[in-house]
Amino acid sequence: MPANVVVPEVGESIVDARVAKWLKKEGDPVNVGDPLVELETDKIDLEVAAPQGGVLSKIAHGDGADVKVGEVLGVIEEGNAAGPGQSGTPSGAAPAEAVPAAKAGVSGPEAGGGKPEGGSGKLPADKTRATPAARNAAQKHAVDLTSVQGTGDAGRVMRRDVESAAAPQGASADKAAAAPNAAPADRGAAFKPRPVAIPAPVVRPAGERTEERVRMSKRRATIARRLVEAQSTAAMLTTFNEIDMSAVQALRERHKQAFKERHGFGLGLTSFFVKATIGALREYPRINAEIQGDEMVLKHYYDIGIAVGASEGLVVPVLRDADRLSFAEIEGQVRQLAKAAEDGTLSLADLKGGTFTITNGGVFGSLFSTPILNPPQVGILGLHAIKDRPMAVGGQVVVRPVMYAALTYDHRIVDGAEAVQFLVRVKQLVEDPGALLID
């Protein structure tokens, strides 16, 4: 009997989705578990698989359509399913759940991606296992996905793979030639760098004023809606302070080599600010709260959101029970979450909840900004670029590395004095990082 292909329940916070791309056409034979359609939600992308074998007789909602959870996407009629070599899932395979595109890291027959066509060993572009970010990059750079070697889980094509494929063929050779230890073959000859070709400027014909209309993705639309909601529902106010980063930089310099040898990655700034933030939140608990009706919910746990500006849009993955994590655990988890955000492999669990958020515009060069709250949280700490500035220390003017920090808070439950003292406490803990170990 016919089987409906429906929009699956992904999480309690997701009620709708957008059809990003159908992987099958009406009339195509399918097997159980074959990926049929890619859906885009405001948080993750996912694939919906065939609940039974047969023929895809109807597509109810085409590419670009907005759909609700439980809504019928298409219909599979009983019939001759794809035989060997036509579909990527062996007949009789167990039904597959809706798989987040970010998590579906397998390729080849097991992934429903189809067998190589002919003797080329390549999959069609629409069946190539790739993250949404990789597909966008491939379209942007006009790269054929079938020619890209994936470096993700089980060969999944990542954005970095597409960008590497799009780079000029001579880029790697030029990079090697420019490396610090590189030398000309003839050491007695002067090394002459290759001339750099400067592209001619694009001349716009007189009178031509082109425009492009691009539909916002579900994630971008949700970001826009939530930011407007934050400004219209919360009484936001921002306070600022400056932090002398000398002690942190000196500590990192002393321990960077040993830390990297032990953990495999460097000691960054994030862990210091996470630790300092938690220390300040313990003293000013209302900044770690939320408003529900006429009640304040004071949270005695610390799930710290770390804002990440990925190519697909801003996301805020969460460090769970951050107060129980070591410096190395914080740094390691932040790196994993940032990579997953860029690759499009974050799960709903990574994004759910959070009691307070830290955002660092300094990585993009921001010197000063007023961050917007991440509802229902009532506080967000904004970090910025570190710059050498003259400071008065002990009656003398000295040059110190300084960062401006900003705290945006919800004035409905957080008083101004409380917010100022919170940020001062963060400043004190960062300027005396030894206190973080005994706080």
> Which of the following is catalytic: 63, 174, 415, 432?
415
Question: Could you give the C-alpha distances from 226 to 6, 18, 43, 221, 426, in angstroms and in order?
Answer: 27, 18, 13, 9, 27
Look up residue 279 and give its two tokens.
């220390």
Amino acid at 164: S
Question: Could you give the C-alpha distances from 238 to 39, 228, 334, 367, 386, in angstroms and in order?
Answer: 38, 17, 26, 15, 20
Q: Cα 357 vs. chain centroid, distance in angstroms?
A: 15
> What CA–CA distance (Å, rounded) separates 19 from 417?
48
Taking the chain, what is the end-to-end CA distance rounded to the nearest angstrom?
A: 65
Q: Helices 246-263 & 327-343, crossing angle to 10 degrees?
A: 80
Residues 342, 152: contact at Cβ < 8 Å?
Answer: no
Backbone CA torsion sign across 308, 310, 316, 319: negative
Is 415 an annotated catalytic residue? yes
> Which of the following is catalytic: 16, 263, 323, 411?
411
Look up residue 145 and give its two tokens.
């996905």
Is 255 an annotated catalytic residue? no
Q: What is the dihedral of CA 26, 28, 30, 36, to 10 degrees?
A: -50
Catalytic residues: 411, 415
